[in-house]
A = this chain, B = another copy of it.
Amino acid sequence: MIPPVQALPRSRNAAATREAILVSARKHFARENYENVGLREIAGDAGVDPALVSRYFGSKEALFRETLRDDDKDFMEGATRETLARHFAQLFLDEGDTPQDERDLHIDQILILLHSIGSPKAGEIIRETIDTDILEPIARVLGGQDTEMRAAMAFAVLMGMGIMHNTLAIDPDMCSAEDTDRFEKRLTRIFAAALEPMDD
């Protein structure tokens, strides 16, 4: 189903195999639940013995946490207070001008969040990640009243849409280009309602 991450025999190199395991783990966690991903599958796709995973990362939980780590991740980059709503809509619609592999990493990481959101063991890790890597950056860009509230609500919308689209695979059929256009317009309108300060 999922193509092996690293088929070629790797010369002995701790850093490289560690990375291969991490990449394989990201791929799997982005497709399935925390509890439904086995260390044996991760190791298998990385071309490695399952025991190595435990030894390199300590535990499955630690591996999962590592999976979400990203040193230079700022997905609000380039967004100003005025373009926020459109920025969010683009984020969901997979547009914008971020380089492809960086974008893929971000998408995988968001998918990981969405898939394991209901898992008690992964929950604490996910909560932290959302707090520090997502909500705070959003709130920092926002001005005016209720920055925390608005950030949380906007991300809630993004999350709901993401689950609808990726996890549940429920999509209103948008056959024509006009349909897509109206969807995008409405999406921007919703994000605006969540993000913009109250005017009354």
Q: Interface of A with B (CB < 8 Å)? A: 32-33, 35-36, 114-120, 123, 126-127, 130-131, 135, 145-146, 148-153, 155-161, 163-164, 167-174, 179, 182-183, 185-187, 189-190, 192-194, 198
Contacts and interface: CB of A to CB of B under 8 A. Distances in A.
A145 B105 CA distance: 36
B182 A198 contact: yes
A130 B185 contact: no
Contacts of A161: 153, 156, 160
Highest count of chain B CB atoms <10 Å: which of A131, A164, A185: A164
Nearest to A146: B182
Contacts of A183: 149
B170 A152 contact: yes
Nearest to A200: B185
16 contacts: A32-B118, A115-B118, A117-B163, A126-B168, A135-B170, A152-B164, A152-B170, A153-B161, A153-B187, A156-B161, A159-B160, A159-B163, A159-B164, A182-B198, A185-B198, A186-B194
Contacts of A187: 153
Number of copies: 2
A194 B153 CA distance: 14
Nearest to A169: B127
B164 A32 contact: no
B186 A172 contact: no
Contact of A158 (B123, B130, B151, B160): B160
A135 B171 CA distance: 11
Contacts of A182: 145-146, 149, 198
A42 B158 CA distance: 34
Contacts of A185: 198
Given A36-B35, A148-B172, A183-B149, A167 B117 contact: yes
